[in-house]
């Protein structure tokens, strides 16, 4: 049970948040132009890294804002938290 | 005083007698006793029978590591508790304890025969023997094994006790109230840090509190007296919370810890009443100091499990803390100096004591002290056998060979009534590893010690591998000050004198003259696994420590191997010829000691188990005999039986009434999302499959929402309230998820859209009136309103007033009947409903529940998302092509509808099914096949909705069938347990296909 520093609310218990999977997967602007394979890449393919992973999180039981987080999945150390649309930090 | 209560101490009040029963017989102890110390004071060692061989077993320790002395507490059906360690339960008046795992009685146990046939039941016996024939397992083997095995008995009635949870935050949490924990807590609290100190015993002090040996001096006082003063000072500190009877259960990442506090377990039954029994503390600590201490190791030799064989330091605690002697003719068997403290204590109380030491010599102060007292010491010797069935009577010892791998010389027999054993100490590294910490192996004394790397927790005292008193005090002081960034004060100037151990020797499995297969050298006392079993596992090819553990069940009993894991590892390492450090340990998982289910669930039982949501009309439904069903957290009226009607009869009546005259449904639970903003129309275009831009203000439209994978996710009617204002409805169960999904897209994919979403589900109550007479009822309710088709057509909305209350009326229909939904603010829901009922009286308006609603919509072939769909259905599969816009460039899920897989023609598709016998009602979920004779029978679909339609007077069903779109008229079969039902594929709109009634 880690503590997450919500960029809008500050430090809160993990139980207030829900994880939305891998971050920085942008929905294609023109899906109809894509081949089945390209669309499947967007739709299904997700990394599952042991180590530093960029993730989407939602403060579901708080401000309900989505934000990004850099977490080491091997020890749950959180390296950075940043707002949607901000550039991912270099870790 | 009993024969064995030989000493007066300040910890047991010998003026306050407490009576209790063990196996039905009444005994006396004193306030301050544990069940174990009280039994020992009455000379009782035999407590239970072992798990596999049913060997007599006695008290072996004085704490949570106890493997043998586990009891059943109380014998009533609701409060009884199995597997309670006698060493941990505090004695109270009226305590009833009994032994476990024996039949017919503790003294004569028929299962003891297992001990005689034990050569035939080695490790893996059950896995190997009961494999064949396979069919015997369920009916013969398993019930028999369950009958003869097992620990205590579970209660059969609900737990009447109250349990509690509490959240706590602190700067420093100190785990363990021994000397290092006390030093740590004092340093922290004196430096203005909010500190919590938890200790699992009823008083602070650990093992130092009864350390009265003259060789252990702190600031010119005996260490127990020095500590006593420190504790009384500690109790004066304001920012220190001391929690005794509180044991740490789990140490999670980010210093999140769970601790269980026993609040009333130690109170007499009449005082427990109404009190909270246990409280689970959920602690978030900035810094954690683990001072969990160490557990004494047993020694592994032949027949090392007899009652009367007790860990040496426990013998000292029973003597110096509880005032109880575990025997009057004691032998101490040790490989280290610490057991000599026990010897000196026993000698000073006038109890006969001899020492058997596997070492050749030791020159420490405490050994010299024992020698000076004239205590007989057998150096370089080991115990090779013990005698006495229900209590130890004598031992045989032999000399060790030069390298310790064998025994030499003659056997020498010594009489005794207690054998105190000590194999050294194991640091309690459980907390450290639970939090993610790693371990190093220290060769010199064969212990795993914490690798200190964390910034947020440290280990101090003997759990960190510091065993000498001076080390403990000075290292704790130094480490804690550094950890907490404290420069001044603390215990810098303290002087500590102690005996120091210089000679160290450890043999995991002590040698014997007889072959290993004929010895019983127990490693895991509770699960009866022996050194022989571990070696067998290795011979059979198990290499990983985790596999050996599971094959032999070593360390898998209720004590989780606190006494056995190290020896198992040591014997594996010795046998396999590898270093223990490279072997690693098994995983230490929470909880440290067993937690009650009550403590885990706390107050979340009964009506607090989950949130119950009720509409504002709920009370009316209750008064009118509604039966409810749970839809998500909502209680929805299911049907309203009259005169003992069953579900079927009530639904048939309600369905008929709704189509013949008028019905009314509480639709308040439907999810409602208020959507506003200049891009609201564009937003709806993107989330629904159909087009929204041209929907006029005051109009309603049905929408289907997909996932990005093209599968139907939710549906509902959305109403355009204004130019930039919509009210979306969702399914009852899907409301929260739909809101989350929409917020996700708005915040992450389309932040440029000017749209605001607000959940208003709870803000409005909805009465839905349907049936041919509904228009007349609406006219009565709103006499000034024009409900003609021209003024108020289907799929439109208007505002209205009733009793000064503002309403929104939508003319929409889920039943296929002329239908109006009236929405008011929730607080007026019941009054609106009662108005509707009154106005409808002359038309016999009939309240109907969800079951009738489902039937009516099934007659019309309207789907229910989640019943007729399961996350694998596209709108095309549902034959709802009409709602999927071809013109829109994009919407959620659009691209997926053109994937080769979603375009397959043999996907499961929605169809209607009619049974050949119109009175036969299919079971929902039943499988559908096209050929009965072909084996294996291919399942081509399943029934999703099925009802007897009173309006059509026949059975109807919706189903999904592979390639179903092209199967109209085809005969299929629904095989059931006793028969095959013949069905015909039909159109899935069974009733009023021309939609005449909606516009009637």
Query: Rounded mean pLDDT of B271-279?
Result: 89
Residues B747, A75: C-beta atoms closer than 8 Å:
no
What confidence tens digit (pLDDT) does each residue in B834-888 have? 999 999 999 999 999 999 999 999 999 999 999 999 999 999 999 999 999 999 9
Query: Rounded mean pLDDT of B643-647?
Result: 96
Q: Are B389 and B56 in contact (CB under 8 A)?
A: yes
Q: Which residues pair with B350 in a beta bridge?
A: none
For B229, other C-beta atoms within 10 Å of its C-beta total 12
Does residue A89 sit within a domain?
no
Q: Are B398 and B382 in contact (CB under 8 A)?
A: yes
Residues B743, A64: C-beta atoms closer than 8 Å:
yes
What confidence tens digit (pLDDT) does each residue in B399-416 have? 999 999 999 999 999 999
Higher pLDDT, B558 or B331: B331
Q: Does residue B649 carry a pLDDT above 60?
A: yes
Strands (E), B845-889: 846-847
pLDDT of residue B589: 87
Proportion of chain B above pLDDT 90, given as a percent: 83
B89 pLDDT band, cuts 50/70/90, is: very high
Query: Rounded mean pLDDT of B366-370?
Result: 96
Which residues of B make CB contacts under 8 Å with A?
252-254, 256, 284, 436, 708-709, 740, 743-744, 747-749, 751, 889-890, 894-896, 898-900
Q: Which residues pair with B398 in a beta bridge?
A: B382
Q: Domain B163-294+427-497 is of which CATH architecture?
A: 3-Layer(bba) Sandwich (3.50)
Q: Are B477 and B185 in contact (CB under 8 A)?
A: no
Q: What is the dihedral of CA B743, B748, B753, B755, to 10 degrees?
A: 20
State the Cα angle at B8 between B229 and B183, rounded to 5°: 20
Q: Which domain holds residue A52?
A: 3-27+35-83
Residues B253, A58: C-beta atoms closer than 8 Å:
no
Does residue A91 sit within a domain?
no
CA distance B877 to chain A (A): 19
Query: Rounded mean pLDDT of B730-757?
Result: 96
Residues A3, B284: C-beta atoms closer than 8 Å:
yes
B112 pLDDT band, cuts 50/70/90, is: low
By CA distance, what is A58's nearest residue in B?
A: B744
**CATH number of residue A13's parent domain:** 3.30.2270.10
Does residue A62 sit within a domain?
yes
Query: What's the ipTM?
Result: 0.98
CA distance B733 to chain A (A): 18
Q: Are B155 and B77 in contact (CB under 8 A)?
A: yes
The verdict on A35 touching B (C-beta cutoff 8 Å) is no
Of A43, A58, A84, the CB nearest to B708: A43
Q: Does residue B560 carry a pLDDT above 70?
A: yes
Does residue A56 sit within a domain?
yes
Higher pLDDT, B253 or B688: B688
Does residue A75 sit within a domain?
yes
Contacts with B206 (C-beta within 8 Å, 6 or more apart), sequence order: B176, B177, B178, B179, B181, B293
Of B708, B747, B899, the CB nearest to A36: B899
Q: Does residue B108 carry a pLDDT above 70?
A: no
Residue showing tokens 């003609």: B788
Does residue A88 sit within a domain?
no
pLDDT of residue B318: 98
Asked if domains B298-423 and B514-586 share a fold, the reply is: no
Query: Rounded mean pLDDT of B373-398?
Result: 96
Does residue A66 sit within a domain?
yes
Of B253, B709, B740, the CB nearest to A76: B253
The verdict on domain B298-423 having CATH code 3.50.50.60 is: yes
Residues A84, B751: C-beta atoms closer than 8 Å:
yes
Q: Which residues of B touch A75 (CB under 8 A)?
A: 253, 436
CA distance B181 to chain A (A): 25
pLDDT of residue B50: 83
Q: Which residues of A touch B708 (CB under 8 A)?
A: 27, 43
Residues B743, A66: C-beta atoms closer than 8 Å:
yes
Residues B252, A1: C-beta atoms closer than 8 Å:
yes
B136 pLDDT band, cuts 50/70/90, is: low
Q: Which residues pair with B450 in a beta bridge?
A: B439
What confidence tens digit (pLDDT) does each residue in B666-709 have? 999 999 999 999 999 999 999 999 999 899 999 999 999 999 99
Residues B747, A34: C-beta atoms closer than 8 Å:
no
pLDDT of residue B661: 97
Taking CA atoms, B937 is separated from B914, B928, B933, B934, B973, in Å, by: 22, 10, 7, 6, 11
d(CA B792, CA B794): 7
What confidence tens digit (pLDDT) does each residue in B518-532 have? 899 999 998 889 999
Q: Which residues of A touch B751 (CB under 8 A)?
A: 84-85
Q: Does residue B571 carry a pLDDT above 80?
A: yes
Q: Which residues of A touch B895 (CB under 8 A)?
A: 28, 31-32, 34, 39
B78 pLDDT band, cuts 50/70/90, is: confident
Listing DSSP states for B587-647 in one string gives ---S-SS---HHHHHTT-SGGGSS--B--TTHHHHHHTT-EEEEETTEEEEEE--STT--H
Of A1, A43, A85, the CB nearest to B896: A43
Question: B13-129 has which CATH code?
Answer: 3.10.20.440
Q: Domain B514-586 is of which CATH architecture?
A: Orthogonal Bundle (1.10)
What confidence tens digit (pLDDT) does each residue in B300-321 have? 999 999 999 999 999 999 999 9
B11-15, B331-335, B764-768, B995-999, range with the lowest pLDDT: B995-999
Could you state, in order of their start, the residue ranges of all structural domains in chain B?
13-129, 163-294+427-497, 298-423, 514-586, 610-897, 904-1000
Q: Which residues of B touch A56 (CB under 8 A)?
A: 748
Contacts with B846 (C-beta within 8 Å, 6 or more apart), sequence order: B653, B654, B657, B658, B661, B662, B663, B664
Q: Domain B904-1000 is of which CATH architecture?
A: Beta Barrel (2.40)
CA distance A21 to chain B (A): 12
Q: What is the pLDDT along chain A (91 residues), one digit of tens a residue?
A: 899 999 999 999 999 999 999 999 999 999 999 999 999 999 999 999 999 999 999 999 999 999 999 999 998 999 999 999 999 999 8
Of A2, A36, A39, the CB nearest to B253: A2
Residues B709, A84: C-beta atoms closer than 8 Å:
no
Q: Does residue B444 carry a pLDDT above 60?
A: yes
Please provide the average confidence, as pLDDT, over all residues in chain B.
93
Residues B743, A76: C-beta atoms closer than 8 Å:
no
Residues B749, A27: C-beta atoms closer than 8 Å:
yes
If one counts the domains in chain A, the total is 1
Q: Does residue B143 carry a pLDDT above 70?
A: no
pLDDT of residue B152: 81
Residues B895, A39: C-beta atoms closer than 8 Å:
yes
pLDDT of residue B1: 59
How far from each other are the two terminal CA atoms of chain B, in whole angstroms?
A: 97
**B467 closest CA partner among B341, B283, B378, B326:** B341
Q: Which residues of A touch B899 (CB under 8 A)?
A: 36, 39-40
The verdict on A50 touching B (C-beta cutoff 8 Å) is no
Does residue A51 sit within a domain?
yes
pLDDT of residue B631: 93
Best mutation target, B895, B903, B904, to test chain A (most A CBs within 10 A): B895
Residues B748, A36: C-beta atoms closer than 8 Å:
no
Q: Residues B610-897: name the CATH superfamily.
A: Probable tRNA modification gtpase trme; domain 1 (3.30.1360.120)
Residue showing tokens 């003024």: B791
Q: Which residues of B touch A27 (CB under 8 A)?
A: 708, 749
What confidence tens digit (pLDDT) does each residue in B161-187 have? 999 999 999 999 999 999 999 999 999
Q: Which residues of A touch B894 (CB under 8 A)?
A: 31-32
Go through B639-673 and write b for each residue having 16 or more CB atoms within 10 A of its CB, e for each that does not.
bbbeeebeeeebbbbbbbbbbbbbbbbbbbbbbbb
């Amino acid at each position: 049970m880690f503590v997450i520093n919500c960029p809008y609310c500050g430090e809160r218990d993990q139980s207030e948040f829900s994880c939305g999977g891998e971050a920085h997967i942008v929905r294609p602007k023109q899906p109809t132009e894509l081949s089945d394979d390209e669309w499947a890449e967007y739709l299904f393919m997700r990394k599952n890294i042991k180590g530093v992973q960029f993730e989407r999180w939602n403060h579901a039981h708080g401000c309900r804002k989505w934000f990004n987080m850099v977490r080491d999945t091997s020890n749950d150390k959180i390296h950075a938290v940043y707002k949607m649309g901000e550039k991912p930090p270099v870790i | 005083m009993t024969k064995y209560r030989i000493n007066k101490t300040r910890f047991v009040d010998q003026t306050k007698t407490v009576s209790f029963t063990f196996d039905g017989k009444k005994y006396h102890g004193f306030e301050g006793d544990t069940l174990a110390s009280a039994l020992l004071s009455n000379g009782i060692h035999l407590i239970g029978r072992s798990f596999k061989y049913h060997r007599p077993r006695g008290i072996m320790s004085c704490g949570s590591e106890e493997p043998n002395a586990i009891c059943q507490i109380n014998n009533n059906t609701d409060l009884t508790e199995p597997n309670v360690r006698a060493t941990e339960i505090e004695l109270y008046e009226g305590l009833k304890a009994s032994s476990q795992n024996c039949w017919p009685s503790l003294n004569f146990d028929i299962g003891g025969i297992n001990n005689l046939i034990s050569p035939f039941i080695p490790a893996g016996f059950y896995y190997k023997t009961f494999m064949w024939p396979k069919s015997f397992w369920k009916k013969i083997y398993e019930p028999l094994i369950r009958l003869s095995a097992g620990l205590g008995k579970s209660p059969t009635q609900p737990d009447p006790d109250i349990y509690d949870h509490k959240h706590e935050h602190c700067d420093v949490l100190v785990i363990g109230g021994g000397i290092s924990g006390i030093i740590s807590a004092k340093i922290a609290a004196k430096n203005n840090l909010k500190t919590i100190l938890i200790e699992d015993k009823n008083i602070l002090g650990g093992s130092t509190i009864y350390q009265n040996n003259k060789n252990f001096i702190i600031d010119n006082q005996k260490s127990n007296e020095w500590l006593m003063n420190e504790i009384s000072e500690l109790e004066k500190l304001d920012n220190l919370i001391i929690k005794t009877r509180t044991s740490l259960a789990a140490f999670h990442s980010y210093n999140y810890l769970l601790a269980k506090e026993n609040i009333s377990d130690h109170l007499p039954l009449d005082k427990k009443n109404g009190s909270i029994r246990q409280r689970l503390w959920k602690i978030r600590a900035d810094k954690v100091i683990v001072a969990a201490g160490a557990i004494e190791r047993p020694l592994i030799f032949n027949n090392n499990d007899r009652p009367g064989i007790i860990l040496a330091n426990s013998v000292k605690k029973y003597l110096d803390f509880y005032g109880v002697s575990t025997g009057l003719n004691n032998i101490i068997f040790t490989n280290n100096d610490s057991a000599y403290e026990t010897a000196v204590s026993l000698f000073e109380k006038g109890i006969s004591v001899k020492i058997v030491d596997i070492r050749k010599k030791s020159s420490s102060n405490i050994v010299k002290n024992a020698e000076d007292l004239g205590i007989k010491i057998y150096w370089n010797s080991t115990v090779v056998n013990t005698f006495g069935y229900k209590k130890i009577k004598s031992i045989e010892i032999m000399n060790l060979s030069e390298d310790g791998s064998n025994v030499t010389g003659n056997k020498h027999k010594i009489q005794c009534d207690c054998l105190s054993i000590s194999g050294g100490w194991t640091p309690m590294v459980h907390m450290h590893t639970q939090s993610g910490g790693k371990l190093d192996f220290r060769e010199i004394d064969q212990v795993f010690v914490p690798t200190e790397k964390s910034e947020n927790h440290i280990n101090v005292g003997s759990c960190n591998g510091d065993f000498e008193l001076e080390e403990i005090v000075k290292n704790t002081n130094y480490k804690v000050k550094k950890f907490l960034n404290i420069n001044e004060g603390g215990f810098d100037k303290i002087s500590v004198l102690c005996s120091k151990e210089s000679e160290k020797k450890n043999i995991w499995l002590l040698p014997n003259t007889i072959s290993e297969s004929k010895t019983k050298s127990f490693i895991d006392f509770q699960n009866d696994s022996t050194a022989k079993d571990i070696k067998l596992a290795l011979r059979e090819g198990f290499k990983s420590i985790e596999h050996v553990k599971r094959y032999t069940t070593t360390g898998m009993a209720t004590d989780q191997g606190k006494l056995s894991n190290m020896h198992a590892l040591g014997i594996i390492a010795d046998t396999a010829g590898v270093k223990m450090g490279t072997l690693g340990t098994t995983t230490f998982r929470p909880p440290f000691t067993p937690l009650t289910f009550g403590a885990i669930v706390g107050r979340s039982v009964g009506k607090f188990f989950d949130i119950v949501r009720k509409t504002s009309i709920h009370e009316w439904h209750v008064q009118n005999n509604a039966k409810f069903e749970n839809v998500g957290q909502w209680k929805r009226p299911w049907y309203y039986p009259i005169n003992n009607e069953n579900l079927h009869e009530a639904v048939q009546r309600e369905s008929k009434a709704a189509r013949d005259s008028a019905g009314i449904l509480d639709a308040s639970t439907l999810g409602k999302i208020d959507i506003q903003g200049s891009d609201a129309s564009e937003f709806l275009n993107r989330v629904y499959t159909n087009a929204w831009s041209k929907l006029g203000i005051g109009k309603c439209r049905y929408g289907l929402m997909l996932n990005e994978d093209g599968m139907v996710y939710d549906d509902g009617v959305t109403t355009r309230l204004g130019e930039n204002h919509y009210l979306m409805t969702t399914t009852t169960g899907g409301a929260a998820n739909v809101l989350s999904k929409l917020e996700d897209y708005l915040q992450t994919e389309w932040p440029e859209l000017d749209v605001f979403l607000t959940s208003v589900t709870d803000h409005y109550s909805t009465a839905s009136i349907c049936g041919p007479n509904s228009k007349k009822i609406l006219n009565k309710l709103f006499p000034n309103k024009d409900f003609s088709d021209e003024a108020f057509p289907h799929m439109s909305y208007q505002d209205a007033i009733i009793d000064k209350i503002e309403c929104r009326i939508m003319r929409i229909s889920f039943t296929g009947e002329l239908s109006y939904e009236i929405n008011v603010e929730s607080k007026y829901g019941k009054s609106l409903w009662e108005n509707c009922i009154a106005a409808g009286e002359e038309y016999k308006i009939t309240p109907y529940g969800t079951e009738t609603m489902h039937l009516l919509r099934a007659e019309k072939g309207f789907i229910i998302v989640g019943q007729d769909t399961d996350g694998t259905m596209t709108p095309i599969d549902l034959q709802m092509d009409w709602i999927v816009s071809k013109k829109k460039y994009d919407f959620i899920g659009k691209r997926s509808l053109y994937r080769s897989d979603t375009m397959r023609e043999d996907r499961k598709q929605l169809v209607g099914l009619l049974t050949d016998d119109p009175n036969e009602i299919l079971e929902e979920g039943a499988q559908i096949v096209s050929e009965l004779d072909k084996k294996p029978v291919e399942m081509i679909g399943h029934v999703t909705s099925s009802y007897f339609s009173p309006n059509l007077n026949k059975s109807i069903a919706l189903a999904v069938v592979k390639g179903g779109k092209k199967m109209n008229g085809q005969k299929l079969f629904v095989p059931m347990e006793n028969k095959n039902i013949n069905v015909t594929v039909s159109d899935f709109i069974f009733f009023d296909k021309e939609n005449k009634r909606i516009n009637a």
